[in-house]
Structure 1
C-alpha cells in the first residue's frame, strides 16, 4: 500500500474564483475536486455574500448535488418555497424535476461545501427563465466545453433543416 492517490488540501491554499452577474448574483468559488485529483465527484466551497445568489434556480437531469452549510446563514429556495439555512444543515438535490434549488446568502453571508456527481453530458433546466442548458466536459481538441443555453419554449422538429 502506497497511499500515493490520497491527497489533502487546506481551503486556505485554494485561490478563490469570484463570479458576479448584475446586482443579484455574486459568489466566490474554491475548487477542491480538481486540485485533489477527484475523478467521479466535483467539490468546491462557495462563499455567498448577504443578499446574493451564486446561480439561478435550476435542476439537473443527470447529476446529483449535495450542499453542506459550513458557516453562516442563508435561504434555500426550492419548488416548495423558502427555507432558512444555518451551519450544519445538509441539502440533497437528486436529479430531475422537483429538485429545483437556489441558495441565497443571509445576514453576514453563508459558506457551503458543494458536492456533485460528474456525469456528462448534462441537461440543466432553469424554470424561472424558461432555459435549458446542455453541457459536456472538455472533450474538444482545444479543451473547450460544449455549453449551450437556449429557450425551452423554442423547440425545433428533429427534421428541421434536413433534406
Structure 2
C-alpha cells in the first residue's frame, strides 16, 4: 500500500528511533524525506547526547550533505580540521574523497539537535578513513525473485580484500 506524502511535517509529530553502538555512537533520530514525497532529497532529524556522535567519520563519493544545527554545541570534524559548532550554524559536506570526510560530535552538555539534508544518488560509495572500510550501496529498491519485498544492494568491505576482475568467472 502506498503511503500518502505530506507537504508539511512538524518535527514534534515524527516517530523517533533511539539507538546506541559502543561507547561513542548514540542518537535519537529519523529520516523523513519520503514522508514529504521527496525522492531525490533525503532529510533527517537528529538528537545526539553529550559526548556522542551519530555516525563514524566518513566521506561520500557521490552525495552532497548539509547539516543545520538547531540547538546545542559540538564539533564538526571535516577533513583534517575540527570546527566548533552551535545553534544556527550550517555545515557543508560536499562529495569527494577523504578531504571531505566529516563527523558531528556533541562536545557540549546538552543534546545536539540538527537536521541532515542530502542528495539521494541511486548508487553511492562511502569511505570510512578511521577504520579503512568502504560501503558500496544502491538506493534504488529492486523487486526480489518473489516479486514482493524490495531489496537493495549493500556491501561493506576493505580494499585489501580486492579481487581480480575475472576471479570466479566461469571459463576465466
TM-score (norm 1): 0.92
Unaligned runs of 5+ in 1: none
Q: Within 5 Å, give how 1:18-33 maps onto structure 2.
A: 18-33=18-33
More strand by share: 1
C-alpha contact (below 8 Å) 1:134/1:149 kept by paired residues: yes
Q: Deviations over 1:39-85 (max 9, x none)?
A: 21000111111111111100001100000111110111122231111
RMSD (Å) for aligned C-alpha atoms: 1.4
Q: Within 5 Å, give how 1:14-163 maps onto structure 2.
A: 14-97=14-97, 98-107=99-108, 108-137=110-139, 138-141=141-144, 142-162=149-169, 163=172
Q: CA deviation at 1:152?
A: 2.2
Q: Deviations over 1:87-138 (max 9, x none)?
A: 1111111101121000111221211110000002110001111101011122
C-alpha contact (below 8 Å) 2:6/2:35 kept by paired residues: no
C-alpha separation between the residues in 2 aligned to 1:30 and 1:6?
16
Structure 1 residues 25 and 106 mapped into 2: Cα distance closer, same or farther (>3 Å)?
A: same
C-alpha separation between the residues in 2 aligned to 1:10 and 1:99?
31
C-alpha separation between the residues in 1 aligned to 2:22 and 2:143?
30
Q: Which residue of 2 aligns with 1:9?
A: 9
3-state DSSP of counterpart to 1:52 = coil
Unaligned runs of 5+ in 2: none
Q: CA deviation at 1:6?
A: 6.5
